[in-house]
Structure 1
């Protein structure tokens, strides 16, 4: 009897995994995809790869659902079913860990990964429009999947670090941060660039130019990655001057001056496509 119960449990787990994921033709009544973090908070992602603009052929669109949550749309049923099959396999094996769903960036591809193993590549079949960056699409799929599995979406700084190939070091700074914007917008920064208040940059008195910092507003816990391209601030005890966009992402534009924690980041080698099998690159 025990053996029969085990067989039944296995079959039920398999049926449950299949039922949890479904593919449907897109309809005008389908709910809109949830919006990402405002684009200005992702503008510093140095992503150069874009899927080939094969003009999003006339293939009919299909939506992928997980636990009745819309997670994405693909051009063509084959592409949608491949993604669904990957998700069902993870569910059936019991190895799906929502917190391990992340974008994966390589030198010539962007995909969605689980625990470092790629699930699918973002190609032209997944692009809602040729002008939408592949990185944005990957983040949207990841956060929609996390939402469907009752997991918190990736935080802004976490997304920036993944897309830029950055990792935290053991060097951490503390102090107070202010922000600057309109009056300096369009002027030259200390490293020769033109200051743009809408970019995620910051000024520091001594850190090398182009240093990347994960800055956290200690008053609300919100974080953002910024790049040092200017010198300052030179008022009081302030030690970091954020661009207006960075301050907005930290929720500090109204406070003006906030206590911060800043972790110095370093570059990590990009994931090579050759590290994966052809089967893993399901949409390539």
Structure 2
């Protein structure tokens, strides 16, 4: 059982990019309930006291692009963790300068966004379960958060992202910080089987919002005229018909899958990768590690 959800603080409603680097940003998606393809819904942009203004701006830009396409609402929530010795009632009663700054900065960052936006702050003794409870009790469809790459595992809110991917009832999208407004090429890669609907949809939404091209890449060891290769071509054609941005599809046959996909993603500005089974050392985890280090 998860502990009771700590009471949110200072609810706000209203409508009132960035680190440089040669390596591509990565987005790691997991479509848990596969329900975000429906219209509407709620997107949670989860930040912590360690989240910089630049990072929050990047997360909001991605989330706004998705929300506009889906007619979804955005909830920007700052999750803070206090020691067990500090009563939650005491922490909730006092608004710090950092919390005031969060509200002012978020209001400024979202002032030009044309979707329904709310702000909130949650204080707890256990940030993992506080986020999980918030997602459940507020019926969140998609959580968007920053992905801190720490070899061999990645972290969100100072915890392993695999915990959130496994326990949250919502779909999850973790992104390594970057200014998405400068993105020119997006690559979507997958490990066998169909791609996640979430990652294809999100790549297409970002491509449309920022006039970036999208490449959907499959690599197989099968021969070009094999039944497997032909099925993938048919599947790619179906995907292209659903997208609105400048999207192309590639099928690489008779190749070493791991090396080929790493090469395909290496020069992209933004790479989408999907994992169905957190914690396993899958091909996609191998891909992300090869791109990141």
TM-score, normalised via structure 2 length: 0.28
Larger radius of gyration: 1
TM-score, normalised via structure 1 length: 0.29
Greater helix share, structure number: 2
Higher relative contact order (CA 8 A, sep 6+): 2
